[in-house]
Amino acid sequence: MYDLILRGARFEDAVADVAVAGGRIERISPRIQEGGGREIDAGGRLLSPPFIESHVHLDTTLTAGDPRWNESGTLFEGIQIWSERKRSVTREDVISRATELLRWQAAQGVLHVRTHVDVTDPDLTGLKAMLEIREKVRGWTDVQIVAFPQEGILSYPRGTELMEEALRLGADVVGGIPHYEHTREMGAESVRESFRLAEKHDKPIDIHCDETDDPESRFLEVMAAEAIRTGMGQRVTASHTTAFGSYDNAYAFKLMGFLTKAVINFVANPLINITLQGRYDSYPKRRGITRVKELWQNGLNVSLGYDDIMDPWYPLGTGGMLQPAHMAVHACHMTSREEVTACFDMVTENAARTLGLEGYGIAEGGPASFVLVDAPDKWDALRRLATTTLVVRDGEVIAEARPAEHRLMGETVTFQRGTEGLGDFVGQGSGSGERTERG
């Protein structure tokens, strides 16, 4: 007798039952005869490992409009507003907002979150609160904390010491923001400082790098050079790199060759990049997003993050990871069948590589952590921004949802055209959430 059996879940190319016991996947088979303590009819829905948020700011989330709205919509006004808001940040304030957002994300199947936390604060209030949250939520979501120097490592008073202190207190990852340092020399030196800290404390690196339209912002090459020099490659992540979208092709070509040797990870944040960048352009306006498609075509690991959810930089959002993936499809011209599917992987498998997760995926003997998405495949999940109907963490059902049912003149509208390729998928409005309880 298993603890849980999922009946008729859709894998890449097959429909199968999944049996769970003791928090692990015991068996995956076209038909499991034995029963389970609980049985859930997956109805042919897509089974996926959990979604992963590889770049968000949980210390700033859910503050949009407080103390004021970002009227210019620029990154720099956002930083100014946050500088004002953070004077009133308290431990309780951060815990309340960040926990709420993690609940929104877990409810949608996001069970691993890498959050940057501003450490340019002499009291490190946000960081200390986030360390508490990381422990408090450990039973249902995994949080990685990046020590993020929002106002610079070298440009902010005692910036390096605050980074050191954050790492000593328990931050998981070393951050950076070279394009915000006062001069380009200080920017390059701050990248080297991040690597020094990472080597000293044996931590991975995730730097906000070249988050600007300025084609002269070239700190990515410094990161790549340091990654090669230190041999830290896969433990290094360059977030944003939006200036890469503005480099001329001659430099971009040289850089791409260099990057394939450095083998670092990239995180793009399509919702925020296309919103914050291009603000100083008239027309034509740049998309302000890194070369996601070309990085992916060159075999580099790219994942996608939200970045901001209802804060001074971005007023919208729910935390569901299909939204940034959906924006990537558009903003990065990734509309072929294969490219759309790749964008789904950028908020699952690729993000697991960025975060350095071990044991991620769906396999017999592996952890029983997975989600059901109300779609027959990854492509359709993105087309319809499908609902995550079931979230299982270490064998426990922690979230369930029913997809919206649309009825037109008494008939259900499923937003599915024909049934080709859909197999057993039942679509919206039938079979959703149906299950039998046994034992």
- Work out how close the CB of 395 gets to Fe ion at its nearest, in angstroms, rounded to a whole number: 33
The nearer residue to Fe ion, 181 or 307, going by C-beta atoms, is 307
The nearer residue to Fe ion, 220 or 381, going by C-beta atoms, is 220
Task: Give the C-alpha distances (Å, rounded to integers) separating 426 from 27, 337, 402.
Answer: 24, 22, 13
- Work out how close the CB of 116 gets to Fe ion at its nearest, in angstroms, rounded to a whole number: 5
- Work out how close the CB of 198 gets to Fe ion at its nearest, in angstroms, rounded to a whole number: 18
- Work out how close the CB of 100 gets to Fe ion at its nearest, in angstroms, rounded to a whole number: 19
Residues 6+ apart with CB under 8 A from 96: none
- Work out how close the CB of 84 gets to Fe ion at its nearest, in angstroms, rounded to a whole number: 19
**Closest to 12 in 3D by CA, of 325, 362, 385:** 362
User: Do the beta carbons of residue 384 and residue 428 sit within 8 Å?
Assistant: no
Tokens of 19: 């049996």
DSSP-derived secondary structure for 246-289: TS-HHHHHHHHHHHHHH--EEEE-HHHHHHHTTTT--SSPP---
Choosing from 77, 181, 211, 221, the catalytic residue is: 211
The nearer residue to Fe ion, 314 or 370, going by C-beta atoms, is 314
Neighbours of 415 (CB within 10 A): 11
d(C-alpha 384, C-alpha 119), whole Å: 38
**Closest to 323 in 3D by CA, of 257, 384, 245, 413:** 384
Per the annotation, the verdict on 211 as an active-site residue is yes
The nearer residue to Fe ion, 121 or 307, going by C-beta atoms, is 307
Task: Give the C-alpha distances (Å, rounded to integers) separating 185 from 168, 190, 218, 236, 277.
Answer: 27, 9, 11, 21, 23
The nearer residue to Fe ion, 307 or 349, going by C-beta atoms, is 307
Q: How far is CA 385 from the centre of its chain?
A: 16
d(C-alpha 396, C-alpha 399), whole Å: 9
Coil, strand or helix: which one is 21?
strand
- Work out how close the CB of 242 gets to Fe ion at its nearest, in angstroms, rounded to a whole number: 11
DSSP-derived secondary structure for 310-355: SBTTB------THHHHHHHHHHTT--SHHHHHHHHHTTTHHHHHHH
Coil, strand or helix: which one is 7?
strand
The nearer residue to Fe ion, 214 or 364, going by C-beta atoms, is 214
The nearer residue to Fe ion, 6 or 191, going by C-beta atoms, is 191
d(C-alpha 43, C-alpha 377), whole Å: 13
- Work out how close the CB of 275 gets to Fe ion at its nearest, in angstroms, rounded to a whole number: 12
**Closest to 405 in 3D by CA, of 385, 389, 427, 425:** 427
| Residues at the site binding Fe ion, with contacts judged by CB under 5 A | 307
The nearer residue to Fe ion, 77 or 374, going by C-beta atoms, is 77
- Which residue is listed with tokens 């300025």? 214
- Work out how close the CB of 118 gets to Fe ion at its nearest, in angstroms, rounded to a whole number: 10
**Closest to 123 in 3D by CA, of 79, 99, 93:** 93
User: Do the beta carbons of residue 343 and residue 382 sit within 8 Å?
Assistant: yes
Max CA distance (Å), the chain: 67
Nearest residue to Fe ion by CB is: 307
Residues taking part in catalysis: 211
